[in-house]
A and B are shown apart, each in its own frame.
Chain A
Amino acid sequence: MPNSHVMSADAFRTRSQMWDATGMWAWVLHRITGLGLVFYIILHTILMAGSLLSGKEDFDSTLSILMGHPVFEFLDILLLGTVLYHGLNGIRILLFDIGIGVRVRTQKDLFWIFMGVGAILWFWSILLKLGW
């Protein structure tokens, strides 16, 4: 068989790197935000259920920490950004599934349009949160 000596599983090969491609970054961020949201939901459920089960006082004190501490205010903003990114990029992917925007240029345009909308919504929400 020709080239059989290089066909072994450990044959040297380089791996694809397309770090200048918009679609690649969109996918990487989609994965990261997706994992982040799963982690958040698990944490949220455990914390809420745990404090609810241990009584009214515990639940109230947990909520007062979560709603009042500046770190959690910041995490709230981060959570909203994550939800916005994952949701809007998810819509972009759904559009591909129904055959809309499946072109190199269009998929990039769609990405930046959705990111623009997301950024506006995010900053608007931050301003609302800060009471401006």
Chain B
Amino acid sequence: MGMTLTEKLLAAHCGRDSVRPGEIVNAALDLVICHEVTTPPAVEMLEKLGITKVWDPSKILVTPDHFVPAKDLRSAELASALRAWREAQGITRYYEVGNHGICHALAPEQGHVLPGQTIVCGDSHTTTMGALGTFATGIGSTDLAAALATGELWFKVPETLRIDLAGRLPFGVYSKDLILALIARIGVDGARYMAMEYGGPGLAGLSMEARFTLTNMAIEAGGKNGIMPADAVARAYVEERTDAPYTVFEADEDAAYAGRHALDLAALEPMVALPSLPSNGRFIGEVPPERMDQVYIGSCTNGRLEDLRIAASILKGNKVAPGTRAIVVPATTAVWKQALREGLLEIFTDAGCVVSTPTCGACLGGHMGVLGPGERCLSTTNRNFVGRMGSTKSLVYLASPATAAATAIAGVIADPRDYLAKPDLLDAGTDLVAAGADDCLWGV
């Protein structure tokens, strides 16, 4: 019997011809990513054991991202512990504040993620990087310590849930809407312990940045990893960034899947996940136009350049509604700089948004827009759990950057299709999205 993409990758990394779901294997790791929240505890564990050297400094990437620049004294201590450790270990793939980014966006953007790799990070959204045909999964600090010391880690080979995509996204509908629709269908534990493998003809029409949003939120369905084949789009993305060699794996035709879901992209509409579970997704037409105190555009889910271009194309020439605050947080320094060059930051600030330096920020209730009691926020992040962005009495609604931008202008949850220029009316060269993004964004 054949193997799924995840099974192929794990087999190759434990020196076996094949592996089966349920088996426990020890897999070699190609990249370990470290940020300031979960790494210092791992480093302390290693120090206690007298392990003073990591297994291979060249296979480790370090960036502070959660509370940067340091939000308080304790975060400063974590960041300086991270800094001192990476210096002592001679880890050169280091992105200091000023060059930093949310690790799941930064690592692929800077060419560190290659198809065929195994990647771990002490962070649940590590699944993001599977969009490049890698096995990437989140771990805790003990796992991280073991990974840093030995360069390998135990994994229970997951069953695979196959997601077959067909068609193209309609006007005003994005990959965030797709993943929210999928999670609404299968639930927050619909893929618990499983690999979520995306495939099918609908994939080809999605840009790389759009794809990262799909694998990013695999964890919101309980998935161990999200993965998709490294097709021409993925390979072009990688080769623009690095000339390092890599291996492309494919699922076998006769691979065994624990389940299959088919999604017709053309049938989707903008989605909003109501508080307080990511699976509470509704078509926007069914969502009451609740007033929003805050709109947040950013995170490892939707803080990439394409996301900012879409939001800016809606906010251009408009104003954020009185009574609503809009906060834009580019995911990485490179995104921030490019947004500056393209004039996006000016559009945001002219509209009355705050633009922050890259950080996880308010996504996890850290800083840069924490919610007070009774406040409502429409956010492009990935979790709307109780208290996730601040007060346990605040409410978080999840949606795409387009819906977020439309909502910022309206002050109430709004349908982005009422604010986007219709594709046939686009004046080529003047519209930001047409100028910068793939045509697939428009579904034309």
A binds B: no
Task: Mark B residues whose CB is within 8 Å of A.
Answer: none
